[in-house]
């Protein structure tokens, strides 16, 4: 890294460092690499504007990882695999002309919908999109859930089951229900 002069004492040269910092996000601790500078003359520690920008981008990447969204690096890799430029990606996926440069640098976090669309674009086999979205969201397929769980209506019917030796009762029930 280049050295530059300390903005505080205007004498010393800055040394550049980085350290892992722990940030709290939605109740969990995330590790983020934080860049900072130390003056070799006055010893003051500071975070330069460019470092703040990069630190913020890494923080957004940590948030994305925690939220199960693609990181900037993953989006670059996805776009490379699709063989498209950032401009072409924006045309294909939407989000505005600079969307992909911002997603990739970590200046903007893509929406869940955009993230899903990007992942869907990577599917090599035809997929049932609604099923895919359902799985991604961790929702249970209603067909699967009915095979495992007895619906309340079926359960109550079983409890009040009419024996086959009492046909009169079911006849009465039918009449009653039709008024
Ligand atoms: Zn200094």
Mean pLDDT of the chain: 85
pLDDT at 1: 46
pLDDT beyond 70 at 151: no
Which residues does residue 119 pair with via DSSP β-bridges, in sequence order? none
Ligand 1 centre distance from Cα of residue 34 (Å) = 20
Ligand 1 centre distance from Cα of residue 101 (Å) = 35
Ligand 1 centre distance from Cα of residue 43 (Å) = 6
Ligand 1 centre distance from Cα of residue 41 (Å) = 5
Which residues does residue 22 pair with via DSSP β-bridges, in sequence order? 31
Ligand 1 centre distance from Cα of residue 121 (Å) = 51
pLDDT at 150: 54
pLDDT at 147: 53
Ligand 1 centre distance from Cα of residue 40 (Å) = 7
Work out the average pLDDT over 32-59: 96
pLDDT at 179: 44
């Amino acid at each position: 890294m280049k050295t530059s002069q300390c903005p505080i004492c205007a004498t010393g040269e800055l040394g550049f460092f980085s350290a892992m910092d722990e940030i709290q996000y939605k109740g969990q601790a995330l590790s983020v690499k934080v860049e900072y500078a130390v003056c070799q003359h006055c010893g003051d520690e500071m975070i330069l504007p460019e470092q703040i920008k990069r630190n913020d981008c890494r923080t957004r990447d940590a948030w994305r990882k925690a939220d199960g969204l693609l990181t900037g690096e993953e989006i670059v890799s996805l776009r490379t695999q699709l063989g498209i430029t950032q401009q072409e990606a924006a045309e294909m996926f939407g989000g505005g002309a600079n969307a992909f440069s911002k997603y990739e640098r970590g200046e903007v976090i893509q929406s869940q919908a955009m993230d899903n669309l990007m992942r869907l674009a990577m599917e090599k086999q035809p997929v049932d999109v609604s099923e895919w979205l359902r799985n991604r969201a961790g929702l249970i397929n209603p067909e699967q859930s009915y095979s495992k769980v007895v619906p309340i209506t079926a359960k109550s019917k079983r409890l009040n089951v009419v024996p086959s030796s009492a046909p009169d009762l079911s006849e009465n029930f039918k009449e009653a229900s039709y008024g």
